[in-house]
Structure 1
Amino acid sequence: MKEVEITVFRYDPEEDNAPRYESFTIEAKKNMTVLDSLFLIVEDQEPTLSFRCACRLGMCGSCGMLINGRGRLACRTKIEHLGDKIRVEPMRNQLIIKDLSVNMDKFFKNWEKVKPYFVPKEDTDEFSVIPPGSGRREIIDENQDCITCGLCFQSCDAVAIRGENFIGPAALSRAYNLIADERDGARAERLDMVTEEDGAFGCHTFGACVEVCPKGIKPMVTIQKIKMKKLKKTIGLKW
């Protein structure tokens, strides 16, 4: 075991005039995660510290935080890879509820804007099943693992610059999955919707979303595919 200093962002909007940082020393064991350290702090040193978590397996996405300045899932980030001093802060581009807990309403409202659900065609016989070997499934497979953790949204400079007016990388990736699915009855409507000013063309291609995704999804690449589909549709090509 070794001693590690965990510096945590503290702020309660209902009580504090300004944010502050508070440091705690813990005994770190092998394979201990940042989330484990936060539980230790709550149990042994500061029971009022607030943060969000659920599955502890990297599946639910609820423990997204800034850890040493980078968006990560606290439950999948091992202390031994970070050194003896660790700083933990809430995700950016979201309102702070308390300490490390943020309000995700802005993220999910933008998610809802793209109609993130399958809309069947009136006659679905032709495309009701994706034939094996057709290659259609591979088009969207790389985006299927999104856990809506919001790490790409909090890292996105376009969101930081334009606020909630920019839909954001996660919602655009979800939109692409449905636009690329030929069985979906709203794909043309959805493509037009996400290529307006607040959609795909608002992406500045900084690439931060690609760097932080815990599932290896590349929203920036997907957004470029949306732009290409819009271009093809505009000039009358098959998209």
Structure 2
Amino acid sequence: MAREMQLFKLCKGTFGHVRNFHMTAITNAAAAEAQPASRLKTFAIYRWNPDEPDKKPHMQEYSVDLNACGPMILDALIKIKNEVDPTLTFRRSCREGICGSCAMNIGGINTLACISKIDTRAEKTTKIYPLPHMYVVKDLVPDMNNFYKQYKSIEPWLQRHDDGQKKSGDVHQLLTKYGR
């Protein structure tokens, strides 16, 4: 019986090393497969800083690994700002295509960066400009003053016809069944 135990321990130790070596090889192979080759995408972004009047507006290129980035243009811009160039300036807010803060010209089309998918073809550079019909404050940020003036002039909000008895904002405006 003692001899069988010695033989068992010997076999267990020998095969244990083989098994550990085999498991290490499998783990290394799986790790190599889990990390796909980087998919670098180039973005050419309009840059202009009014604090540097002697420097003309120019296009600056950035490379982003699409494997480490979300699928939308806004994701790439945020990655560039956070990891590559913190001076890059743009507006963003809701990330759902509702507010319009991230409006810009992407690949020749005026669109929202939060709903515009990244063209995954690596050989094609994506060009990003500020909106063409607005003055530029800095980089991709347009001047919104004219927009807000027009917004105020058309008053696109609900308005109450005041009967003179109550000031606006003092009471809730309940809807009648007819008004629903």
Q: Does 1:28 align with 2:77?
A: no
Q: Does 1:99 align with 2:148?
A: no
Distance in 2 (CA, whole Å) between partners of 1:19 and 1:57 is 30
Corresponding residue for residue 19 of structure 1: 57
Distance in 2 (CA, whole Å) between partners of 1:13 and 1:44 is 23
1:167-206 equivalent positions in 2, closer than 5 A? none
Q: Does 1:44 align with 2:91?
A: no
Query: Bigger radius of gyration, 1 or 2?
Result: 2
Distance in 2 (CA, whole Å) between partners of 1:82 and 1:11 is 27
Corresponding residue for residue 42 of structure 2: 5
Shift of 1:81: 6.4
Q: Structure 1, residues 134-166: CA drift from partner, whole Å, max 9, x if none?
A: xxxxxxxxxxxxxxxxxxxxxxxxxxxxxxxxx
Deviates more, 1:71-80 or 1:83-92: 83-92
Corresponding residue for residue 114 of structure 1: 154
TM-score, normalised relative to structure 2: 0.63
- Asked if 1 retains the 8 angstrom alpha-carbon contact of 2:130 and 2:139, the reply is yes
Partner-residue secondary structure (3-state), 1:24 = strand
Shift of 1:69: 1.1
1:132-171 equivalent positions in 2, closer than 5 A? none
Partner-residue secondary structure (3-state), 1:75 = coil
Shift of 1:31: 5.4
- Asked if 2 retains the 8 angstrom alpha-carbon contact of 1:13 and 1:96, the reply is no
Report runs of 4+ in structure 1 exceeding 4 Å deviation: none
Match of 1:76 among 115, 119, 126: 115
**Identical pairs, percent:** 29
Distance in 2 (CA, whole Å) between partners of 1:82 and 1:27 is 12
Aligned length, in residue pairs: 131
Partner-residue secondary structure (3-state), 2:41 = strand
Aligned residue identity for 1:54: S
- Asked if 2 retains the 8 angstrom alpha-carbon contact of 1:31 and 1:80, the reply is no
Distance in 1 (CA, whole Å) between partners of 2:43 and 2:53 is 21
Distance in 1 (CA, whole Å) between partners of 2:58 and 2:70 is 29
Q: Structure 1, residues 64-100: CA drift from partner, whole Å, max 9, x if none?
A: 0100111111011110367631001111222211100
- Asked if 1 retains the 8 angstrom alpha-carbon contact of 2:70 and 2:76, the reply is no
Partner-residue secondary structure (3-state), 2:96 = coil
Give the root-mean-square deviation of aligned CA atoms.
2.7
Shift of 1:120: 3.0
Distance in 1 (CA, whole Å) between partners of 2:158 and 2:94 is 27
